[in-house]
Structure 1
Amino acid sequence: MSPFEAAAILLAGVAAGAINTVVGSGTLITFPTLLAFGVPPVTANVSNTIGLVPGSISGSVGYRRELVGQRRRVLRLAGASLLGGLAGAVLLLGLPEGAFTAIVPVLIVLGLVLVVFGPRLSAWVAQRHESAGGLPENGAWWVWPLVLVAGVYGGYFGAAQGILLMAIMGIGIDESLQRLNAVKNVLATIVNAVAGLLFVFLAHVDWQVVLLIAAGSIVGAQIGARVGRRLPDAWLRGIIVVVGVVALVAFLRSS
């Protein structure tokens, strides 16, 4: 690997760490970068997943203030992310290369639609639960299984996992987007960590790529946390949509 390639991957890791902390979809920066430098797709995918784990942890730490009072919620949803991430990693290792890519654009578009119409859908869900005193603390009953599905997707590829999680929780949980973003960072960390652990033992890993992305994503996550928590909900929602559209275009061009 040349110094130029190493620097490019490091910078891609910084950008991915920042975007993952604020929204998600950082993988669609690092993954195409690795492909452009000749890293095989599956090796690029697994190495990227492992490399982004430290950045995910860094982002969770950066949002620690927003996690206060959400311990029960995080612990409940963490189980769904753990199982989903494990299942997604098994699918990546067991299915033919490219078997899952057909559904990726659909999931990204679905996530964007849910984010755009999230406030109206949230009001509708809350109204339906009004007779029971509002939404439960941990959200509507369907939040857990959908977080599980997002975990499967994240364990397999990971791009736009954050957008899907924010859409699901933003509609089904009565909470501000900033506090839900903190939960999203923890759940994404769990998915990446469990999938990455499986990849370490069962897949071919490019450790040079891992170290570069890890170093960059740690720095980027702290930048993202400082910027992201200052954004109003409306701005954060808008950024989610913009990043999601860019992620969709990037994926379609690289697939």
Structure 2
Amino acid sequence: MNSPAEYALVLVAGLGSGLLISTVGFASLLSFPVLLAVGLPPVVANVSNTLGLTPAGLSGSFGYRRELREHPVVTTIVLVTCAGGAVLGVVLLLALPPGVFAAIVPYLILVTCLLVGAQPTITRLLRRARPPAAETGEVPGRTRLSVATTVACTMVGVYGGYFGGGSGVMMMAVLGFGADLEIRVVNALKTLSVAAGNVVASVMFVLIADVDWAAAGLLALGSAGGGYAGALIGRRLPATLLRSLIVLAGITAAITMLV
């Protein structure tokens, strides 16, 4: 970053990404391309992006604290699996050659864009297929996750540690398959999963990775406020238009990187 305009752009990207983390969970598709656009190498951009968006996940989780208390068992599982999975994700990111990351990121972005676009349909179909909680004997606040769903949560954590873009949307899809929860609770758990993965990855990155501290600091400054504000509006936000814009932006970013 070499100009005040680039500094301002990264700060605004942090604010917008914070809002997205607590709403539709697709923040890195806004902030990551911005870091690339201001000249950061892909791996450094990914590391700095993770550090910069960690405050958004924490502030957003605090904003959703009421929803997270409703299902303490599921909340604990999501927290532990995503934090543990992120460790492996960071190891993969730092162990593989930088060229591997640069080569696969566009495809990761395209896949997660498809998930964003398909998520409402998938969720609707899954809710029709699952019996209501009253028929399964589940007690409110004591929802359990199957082994398969727990493993899937762990894999989302691995992906979050490796790249993270779209990990929140993946978590929403996983919980749609594995738990009969209200969408506001799923949104809260999605935000917590992003926070858990980012905290673990950030600690590891600070110790062993190259960080652009200016970029990470500006993202953090913007994302902290954006994450909390997003939680306040996330219970009511109609996401259809926003989701469409995110898909368009993500496809554009992926095509740009491929070209």
1:248 shift after superposition: 3.4
Whether 1:133 and 2:137 are equivalent positions in the alignment is: yes
What CA deviation, in whole Å up to 9, does each residue of 1:15-50 have, x standing for no partner? 000011101111111111111111111111101101
Which region of structure 1 is more displaced relative to structure 2, 28-37 or 110-119? 110-119
Q: Name the count of aligned residue pairs.
A: 250
Whether 1:113 and 2:115 are equivalent positions in the alignment is: no
Residue 227 of structure 1, aligned match among 233, 242, 249: 233
Cα distance change, pair 243–185 in 1 and its aligned pair in 2 (3 A): farther
8 Å Cα contact 2:19-2:226 kept in structure 1: yes
What CA deviation, in whole Å up to 9, does each residue of 1:222-249 have, x standing for no partner? 2212221223xxx34x357425523531
Paired letter, 2:137:
G
Q: Which residue does 1:12 correspond to in 2?
A: 13
1:131 shift after superposition: 6.9
Residue 171 of structure 2, aligned match among 165, 173, 189: 165
Paired letter, 1:88:
G
Paired letter, 1:20:
I
1:168 shift after superposition: 1.2
1:75 shift after superposition: 0.8
Paired letter, 1:223:
A
8 Å Cα contact 1:12-1:29 kept in structure 2: yes
Which region of structure 1 is more displaced relative to structure 2, 198-207 or 136-145? 136-145
8 Å Cα contact 1:139-1:174 kept in structure 2: no
1:70 shift after superposition: 2.0
8 Å Cα contact 2:117-2:244 kept in structure 1: no
Whether 1:25 and 2:30 are equivalent positions in the alignment is: no
Paired letter, 2:244:
V
TM-score normalised over the length of structure 1? 0.88
* Helix, strand or coil at the partner of 1:126: coil
Cα distance change, pair 204–160 in 1 and its aligned pair in 2 (3 A): same
Determine the C-alpha separation between the residues in 1 that align with 2:114 and 2:185.
Answer: 24
Determine the C-alpha separation between the residues in 1 that align with 2:54 and 2:214.
Answer: 15
Which region of structure 1 is more displaced relative to structure 2, 51-60 or 239-248? 239-248
Cα distance change, pair 164–207 in 1 and its aligned pair in 2 (3 A): same
Determine the C-alpha separation between the residues in 2 that align with 1:29 and 1:42.
Answer: 16
Q: Which residue does 1:252 correspond to in 2?
A: 254
Determine the C-alpha separation between the residues in 2 that align with 1:59 and 1:163.
Answer: 15
User: What do you get for the CA RMSD once the two structures are aligned?
Assistant: 2.3
8 Å Cα contact 1:26-1:159 kept in structure 2: yes
Structure 2: gaps (5+ residues): none
1:221 shift after superposition: 1.2
8 Å Cα contact 1:111-1:167 kept in structure 2: no
Whether 1:156 and 2:162 are equivalent positions in the alignment is: yes
Determine the C-alpha separation between the residues in 2 that align with 1:2 and 1:108.
Answer: 31
8 Å Cα contact 2:126-2:176 kept in structure 1: no
